[in-house]
Structure 1
Amino acid sequence: MSSDHQRQLITALDALDRVYATEEPFPVSGCTYCYGAEDLADLSGPLDRIPDDLVSAVAAEVPDHWDDFPRLYRRLTPRIVRSAVTGRLHIDENLIASRLLAAGWPTWEAPLAQALRDVWSAWWQATLHTSPSPVSVRATLSLITVATGTLRPWLDIWTTTRTPAADAQLADLIDDVLFEYEITDLRMGFYDEYDASTELLTWLLTDVYDRSGDVRLDEPYLLEHHWSNSHPGRPDLPAPPSRPV
């Protein structure tokens, strides 16, 4: 990772800690079958004293296990996000985006929501300047896409980032999504919240095609699939003989 982008990510994570420090401890209550009195006491105490394994458990837990899930998840957000970004959370990254949405993060007070947006941006830039990265590029892209509800801005940043690391990450993503043609039905998020197939395939076939050098992108099946999705309701049009331009 370049030192500049590493510093920017660290700065964004540290800012997240400071902004969310306004979230005071509160008496946490919830499912006593899954969480004992000691767990609930830890969650009700200082943020930095909550054990890592308990933070991971809360990060993945379904919302109805807690009497006030949004407040608990909001308070733990700095710990959860820092662990996720650095690859130390050890749960499915897709869950983080889904849980943050369930907690309503875009509706939180402006400084809290903006601090998270700053982390998404810094994390994405750091990822595109690092190969390999602590978290796979697909997992990172999925998390920030589902969390923000949009894919194209992140792809546009990738298009304009012409570094060896960005190209290596591109090769990794292509290897991943072309396995068994997953790209033709690719959904992001733990609950498949975001259908990324058309946007991602179009981007691969156009914006970054010349950078990939992957002949699998010329497979007739992919081109026909892209053509049919780009021209819905027009079965009379013949499939193109080559990739789109």
Structure 2
Amino acid sequence: MASPALASALRRVDAVFGGITAPAEGCLRCYDTEELALLAVPRAPLGDDLLLRFFHKVPDHFTDHAATIRRLLPELFALVASGRRSGIDAPTGLGRTAWRSWPGDQVAAIEGFLDVWWRETLAAPDPPYGVGTVWELCVDMHRSLAPVHDVWAAAPRGGTEDRHLGDWVAYRIDELLQDDPFVLPWDMDGEALLPELQAWLVEHAVPRLAGRPDPLLARKVALLALPPEERWVAYSELVASAG
């Protein structure tokens, strides 16, 4: 059951986007005419499977991709908030639109939902979707790290948010040390965003990981501040000293 804050965010999305329709036109190899016709029917429920098939397709599968995504958002965000369905992955249809150029009430409704969903995911000891999954989806839908990481940076020290950060870093640290851009959603410019991600972790994750069971994790993160050729020398020395 959605929290009061998440339920309020969903009502706002429904008030703004509910009743919006999209042209009943799209790829007839991926959808039949009856499925596409539902897009032109206000509030017609699509069901989880068709909803996600619409949401994840590339824009050229629809004559008006932005309108299609607007049509999907109330049902899509309700599905996301319920936590009942796995397989909601990046890249997303919303991330493939220029939604920040949409009318102000639409932008605010989307931002409000994503903000509440991310905050509540970080605060939950065992969120319905893993923190890594929600992080990737929010980064993809925002097409930016800042709105997601600003929430993490502002969280109180020593809480659930720090535990989630430590778990995420422990899972990703090898890729980060290897400068692997695919730690980011694959259709974003990972090579451009990776230095921003690494710098943020050096600044914010290192002091938050001091109490982790793995005493080397914070020190490994600190190595991200070094150029690759220096990083691997320092990494070898770090591992040797701990052995």
Does the pair score TM above 0.5? yes
Give the direction of change, closer, same or farther, for the CA distance of 1:95–1:218 in structure 2 (3 Å limit): same
Say if 2:222 is the partner of 1:228: no
Say if 2:159 is the partner of 1:164: yes
Q: After TM superposition, which residue ranges in structure 1, 4 or more long, deviate above 4 angstroms?
A: 179-183, 222-225, 238-242
Of residues 111, 114, 120 in structure 2, which corresponds to 1:120? 114
Cα deviation 1:213-237 (Å, max 9, x = unaligned): 3413324xx65552127xxxxx9xx
Say if 2:168 is the partner of 1:173: yes
1:23-62 to 2 correspondences below 5 Å: 23=20, 25-62=21-58
Q: Distance in 1 between matches of 2:178 and 2:151?
A: 20
1:65 is matched with which residue?
61
- SS for the counterpart of 1:34 is coil
Moved more, 176-185 or 206-215: 176-185
Which blocks of at least 5 consecutive residues in structure 2 are unaligned?
A: 239-243
Which blocks of at least 5 consecutive residues in structure 1 are unaligned?
A: 230-234
Give the direction of change, closer, same or farther, for the CA distance of 1:182–1:84 in structure 2 (3 Å limit): farther
Give the direction of change, closer, same or farther, for the CA distance of 1:117–1:138 in structure 2 (3 Å limit): same
Cα deviation 1:104-124 (Å, max 9, x = unaligned): 211111111110011121112
Of residues 57, 73, 78 in structure 2, which corresponds to 1:82? 78
Say if 2:8 is the partner of 1:11: yes
Give the direction of change, closer, same or farther, for the CA distance of 1:182–1:119 in structure 2 (3 Å limit): farther
Give the direction of change, closer, same or farther, for the CA distance of 1:30–1:157 in structure 2 (3 Å limit): closer
Say if 2:124 is the partner of 1:130: yes
Q: Distance in 2 between matches of 1:227 and 1:9?
A: 40
- SS for the counterpart of 2:91 is helix
Q: How many residues align?
A: 228
Residues 29 and 67 of structure 1 are in contact (CA less than 8 Å); yes or no, is this contact kept in structure 2?
yes
Moved more, 7-16 or 142-151: 142-151
Q: Distance in 1 between matches of 2:175 and 2:6?
A: 34
Give the CA deviation at 1:92.
4.3
Give the CA deviation at 1:168.
2.1
Give the direction of change, closer, same or farther, for the CA distance of 1:42–1:152 in structure 2 (3 Å limit): closer
Give the direction of change, closer, same or farther, for the CA distance of 1:174–1:26 in structure 2 (3 Å limit): closer
Give the CA deviation at 1:125.
1.3
Residues 198 and 226 of structure 1 are in contact (CA less than 8 Å); yes or no, is this contact kept in structure 2?
no
- SS for the counterpart of 1:94 is coil
Q: Distance in 2 between matches of 1:63 and 1:194?
A: 21
Q: Distance in 2 between matches of 1:86 and 1:178?
A: 30
Percent sequence identity over matched residues?
25
Moved more, 193-202 or 132-141: 193-202
2:141 is matched with which residue?
147
Give the CA deviation at 1:189.
2.1
TM-score (norm 2): 0.79
Amino acid across the alignment from 2:111 = R
Q: Distance in 1 between matches of 2:90 and 2:112?
A: 19
2:202 is matched with which residue?
205
Residues 94 and 189 of structure 1 are in contact (CA less than 8 Å); yes or no, is this contact kept in structure 2?
yes
- SS for the counterpart of 1:49 is coil
- SS for the counterpart of 1:178 is helix
